[in-house]
A and B are shown apart, each in its own frame.
Chain A
Amino acid sequence: MKKRGLKLFTTAGILLTLALAGCGNKEVEKTEKVSAQPKEEQILTVYSAGPDGLAANIQQAFEEKTGIKVEMFQGTTGKILSRLEAEKNNPVADIVVLASVASMDGLKETSQLQSYQDAKQAEKINSDWSNAEGYYYGYSASALGIAYNTKNTQEVPTDWSDLAKEQWQNKINIPDPSLSGSAVDFLYGYALAEKNAWKTMEIWKNNGLQVNGANKEALDAVITGDKNATIAGVDYMAYKAKADGEPVEIMYPRSGTVVSPRAVGILKDAKHIEAAKEYIDFLLSDEGQKLVTEAYLLPGNKEIPVKNRAALDEIPQLSVNWKGAEADQLEILTKFNDMFR
């Protein structure tokens, strides 16, 4: 009897082990591999703030070209920053891509980034969007505009203040700046450059401006006709929706708008520095920049032509300085939240 008991107990034990270890072991093996033979198979961990399709395309092209495997975590800028914060004690990420240069500059100021000054083609990348010492590079950008529904909009707006008119009552929204890095960029740029910015926002609010989740959620409300226009809509999403046949158009207000760069940098605690450098080289290369334009974004390298969208110099811009902007952005965000909550 004892024997049978033992046999059963062993079987049960094996089953349990399989069930429990099944998923965990893979990870263990993976990490072991990395430490044992770092040259042969490398794994690069990238925390990237969208856009979904582009990040996946870049990952695929980069993996094919270099043979380095990329582990990608995608999320909004806010989510990535919070993840970095929570993981301070055991950091895993090598590369961080944020949709906001101000936040990137904040990371640099709190010395969470490391410099990579000799990135290839670095000199061709827009210097307004990048750090001169190579801590981060603005490899792409989106311009913010008014995305409107072409079926439901009778009179196309020409400027921000148009949306304060009565005909837009309850028909406008804005992406939630605590979720969307580009919306913070817009508020910051707009509030600094326009004297009447806060007054206009007050009128927007009285006109029923809805704060509507992340960028895509705000645009979706316009696509489905719930709202007619999105303030500070990111243009590449609108171009993409338009290409899919949705009744959406983007316009850039004539008084000027904000161009919100996306930046990439290497984290200070990165464990795979060589692979990380290759990743940055790839993003800045012509091939990487072309992938950027295919996602309807503005490339960081001006020599690369844009595709099916307005080029940078066709967009009326407000002048914005991103460096050291994080504290001011926080203040503006708080003010905005107090106003709308």
Chain B
Amino acid sequence: MTSFKFWHGRMVTSMMMEGRRTFGFLLTIVVTFAIAPLIAILGYTFLKDGQFDISQINRMLEAERVWRTLGNSILLGVLVIVGTTIIAFPMALIRTKTSLYRYDWLDIILTIPFMTPPYIGSMGWILFMQHNGFLQQLFPSSAWLAETFFSLFGMVMIMSLHLFPFLYLMLKNTLLRMNGSFLDAALIFGRSPWRNWTKIVLPLVVSSYVLGSLLIFIKTLAEFGTPATFGSRIGFQVFTTEIHTYLSRWPVDISMATSLSLFLLSVCLVIWYIQNLIGRKHTYGVLSGKTPAMREVRDKWTIKLGSWMFMGAVLLLSIGIPYFSIVVTSLQKVRGNGLQAGNFSFASYQEVFTGGSAGLSAFLNSVMFSVITAVVTAIIGLCIALYIKKGETKKQQLLDFFSLMPTIVPGIVFVVGLIMFWNAPWLPATIYNTKTMVVVTYCVLFLPYSVQYTKSSLSQIDSSIFQSAAIFGRSKWEVYRQIIIPLLMQGILAGMMMTFIISMRELVAGLLILPPSVETGATFIYSQFEQGNVGVGMAVAVITVVMTVIFMFLLEWLKKRGGHENA
């Protein structure tokens, strides 16, 4: 830990210098924590007794199972793109082109599905749809639905309902930015609405759609929760579950897990590369100086009704059903008695809140890890963002790329790499099997969020501020402390909240690296399904989600307040 103190002490000083030392220093941090694990995977896969060796990779490539996994993962990715499109595209249109554009609170509600830990959502769906599940108890005639649901279709549906907010927000923002001048011009030059659409709107939307859907693809590949719960039930294995299987099921095969991780990493990098190519070719300057003005929209009643119905259906499926199951399960006394009057009590919650219960301490561990992660990533993220600025030099771009790597690299790959790295025999000391390891892992996984948030609020600061500060003879450090950091505070806080929310629900990292006697909320819930009391697990889930939603509203409030102050 002492080296930590030293490093961070230096970091603050070096911020003033912005020179080679800053770069070297920030790079060291990022490389040690984010890149070394990936190198460790490479090493473990390709080195045997110090010799280069490809037998591991060959062994993997020869296994028929691996190709089936690859096929499954890609199929799932493509289908989830289709699924999210079906939900997100109409939703984006409704929220920009109809009278529903007014209701900004809908956006907060629409991000709840993404904030819900995916394994909890899928467990909710399973409990709802299974034979003799809640749906059949409510509507006995719906038994045939179960058969259809427990298939790839159901899995795609659950994952699409979880991931659509991403695509929706991207599409909505593109549509919003375009509302103004482009369409005005088109209207003035008098083409038919249909032609306006096909020739102007669609081409402009396509680039952001492709980017968004590739992101969805990567997110689907990296997803663990739903495949682990729903996928294992229908026998649909993907990369993440296979890696987890090789690492945690008997017979254990660690080298297979690292080879597979490498494979998954390569697939994601290829997709990321394609995304970059497309991004460079097809980005149009839709951001002109003019702020898009919203016209008053009057809909026909059919459109209005249709929009509300679509919105209602999506909310019912993405929030209503899973949360219904979760809450009901947490309240049931005897689960075998189903939905019956008198079968409900707060016993599970009481059990959670009894002093020193396993559930409560797991939950508090999560809170502690998440708070520390949020603070640490905020500080490192701030330094990196201040260094990168607009990413004009090669060094800045390199650091930018490295710090954003974790968004491209699936979490499980990082976790495997961190385990390999911190168990390396040549390390003089290791943080493996300590709580520090958990925090380090979370920081690596979630650093991009804080970098992104800080960068975006940095980009809103006009360079004239720096110039005037320079004219009035302030030192660099003063400029940072008195002007820039206060201005960035909103962004930093928003990034911290986001990091906190996401750390709270992290599952796979916890499953693989937690030290003995330590559980997080997520692993506790998961293990209640494996061994313990499902009702108590669901009670912890409800508590976690309630807290997350409160944080989301806080986040929104913070953004709004920030907007007023800046204006």
Contacts and interface: CB of A to CB of B under 8 A. Distances in A.
B433 A178 contact: no
Interface stretch (A14-22, A268-276, A279-287): A14-22
A139 B532 CA distance: 21
B379 A26 contact: no
Interface in A191-237: 210-217, 220-221, 223-227
Interface stretch (A76-84, A127-135, A250-258): A76-84
Interface stretch (B268-276, B434-442, B453-461): B434-442
A203 to B, nearest CB: 19
Contacts of A330: 251
A20 B33 CA distance: 14
B249 A45 contact: no
Interface stretch (B162-170, B191-199, B329-337, B552-560): B329-337
B397 interface: no
B527 interface: yes
Nearest to A70: B517
A182 to B, nearest CB: 12
A40 interface: no
A217 B423 contact: no
Nearest to A246: B336
B387 to A, nearest CB: 16
Contact of B516 (A8, A92, A210, A214): A92
Contacts, number: 196
Contacts of A321: none
Contacts of B249: 76, 78-79, 82, 178-179
B242 to A, nearest CB: 11
Contacts of A21: 1, 4-5
B133 A71 contact: no
A221 B1 contact: no
A165 interface: no
Contacts of B254: 82, 85-86
Contacts of A310: none
Nearest to A178: B249
Interface string B459-490: 00000000000000001011001000000000
Given A24-B1, A82-B248, 17 more contacts: A1-B475, A9-B477, A16-B379, A17-B5, A23-B436, A26-B435, A56-B358, A74-B527, A82-B252, A90-B430, A178-B249, A184-B250, A223-B336, A225-B133, A225-B336, A248-B336, A341-B237
Interface of A: 1, 5, 8-9, 12-13, 16-17, 19-28, 45-47, 50-53, 56, 70-79, 81-82, 85-90, 92-93, 103, 149, 151-152, 170, 176, 178-179, 181, 184, 210-217, 220-221, 223-227, 244-248, 330, 333, 340-341
12 contacts: A5-B477, A20-B372, A73-B514, A79-B249, A81-B250, A82-B250, A90-B423, A217-B530, A221-B130, A224-B132, A226-B131, A333-B250
